[in-house]
């Protein structure tokens, strides 16, 4: 069933005028919430946007991509850099039943906690973790018959484009300086669900290799 969702998923940019039920949105969000993450740190926030005013602003921030303003719902996928600090990370580790010494060891580790290396490394790992949640949500949307388009090209700290709009978006979403809007998920019921879209992927022999044993 999962493989069917993977094979059939496509980027949907045109939607019919039909609202997505709240319980359907909740199921999509839940798929992201349950995604795996490094030492279970879960460095993410999801903001559900329904208002046309905010969707218009997000559309402007993403270079005018029409699927953003025309979507029924946009899920803003945010990397939360503070998830790695001693208080927040430690709380998650405590929930796993780890003792204080083990928690301190993990939080202080250069290998397991990128915040000990610097801001860039923290952002890099947070984005990496967030992509797992995004993938889960897109597959759940596919399973539920909801069209989805991932928008990563938007004004933010990663693209370093249009800082003025990026700051306006952060204010509109209530984000602080330690929270980075990484991707948007534009959601809506597809206007042409029977349209087949070929998947152009590199052949297996170009991407899969066996270990060389001498």
Residue 194: per-residue pLDDT:
80
The DSSP string of 116-162 is GT-HHHHHHHHHHHHHHHHHHHHHHHHHTT-EEEEE--SSSTTT---
C-alpha dist (Å) from residue 51 to 55, 71, 74, 191: 6, 10, 9, 21
User: Where are the alpha helices (H) located in the chain, listed in sequence order?
Assistant: 2-8, 22-33, 52-61, 66-70, 86-95, 100-107, 119-143, 163-173, 204-207
The whole-number mean pLDDT for each consecutive block of 10 residues of the chain, a chain of 214 residues, reads: 89 96 98 96 98 98 97 98 95 92 95 95 96 98 97 93 93 97 97 84 93 80
C-alpha dist (Å) from residue 202 to 2, 4, 60, 138, 206: 21, 19, 33, 21, 6
Residue 182: per-residue pLDDT:
97
Residue 195: per-residue pLDDT:
81
C-alpha dist (Å) from residue 113 to 99, 104, 107: 17, 11, 6
pLDDT tens, position by position, 59-106: 999 999 999 999 999 999 999 999 999 999 999 999 989 999 999 999
> Shortest CA distance to 29 belongs to which of 41, 44, 16?
44
Distance CA 21, CA 185 (A): 16
Backbone phi and psi for residue 125, each to the nearest 5 degrees, phi listed first: -70, -35
Residue 213: per-residue pLDDT:
79
pTM for this one?
A: 0.94
End-to-end CA gap in the chain: 39
Backbone phi and psi for residue 182, each to the nearest 5 degrees, phi listed first: -100, -45
Q: How far is CA 173 from the centre of its chain?
A: 15
């Amino acid at each position: 069933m999962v493989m069917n969702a993977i094979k059939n998923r496509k980027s949907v940019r045109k939607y019919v005028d039909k609202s997505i039920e709240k319980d359907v949105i909740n199921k999509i969000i839940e798929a992201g919430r349950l995604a795996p993450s490094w030492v279970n740190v879960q460095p993410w926030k999801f903001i559900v946007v329904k208002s046309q005013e905010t969707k218009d602003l997000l559309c402007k921030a993403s270079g005018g991509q029409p699927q953003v303003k025309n979507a029924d719902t946009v899920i803003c996928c945010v990397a939360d850099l503070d998830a790695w600090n001693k208080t927040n990370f430690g709380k998650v580790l405590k929930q796993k039943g780890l003792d204080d010494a083990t928690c301190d060891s993990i939080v202080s580790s250069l290998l397991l906690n990128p915040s000990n290396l610097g801001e860039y490394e923290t952002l890099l790992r947070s984005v990496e973790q967030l992509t797992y949640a995004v993938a889960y949500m897109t597959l759940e949307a596919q399973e539920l018959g909801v069209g989805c388009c991932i928008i990563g090209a938007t004004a933010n700290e990663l693209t370093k484009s249009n800082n003025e709009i990026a700051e306006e978006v952060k204010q509109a979403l209530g984000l602080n300086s330690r929270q980075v809007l990484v991707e948007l998920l534009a959601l809506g019921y597809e206007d042409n669900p029977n349209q087949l879209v070929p998947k152009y992927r590199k052949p297996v022999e170009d991407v899969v290799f066996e270990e060389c044993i001498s």
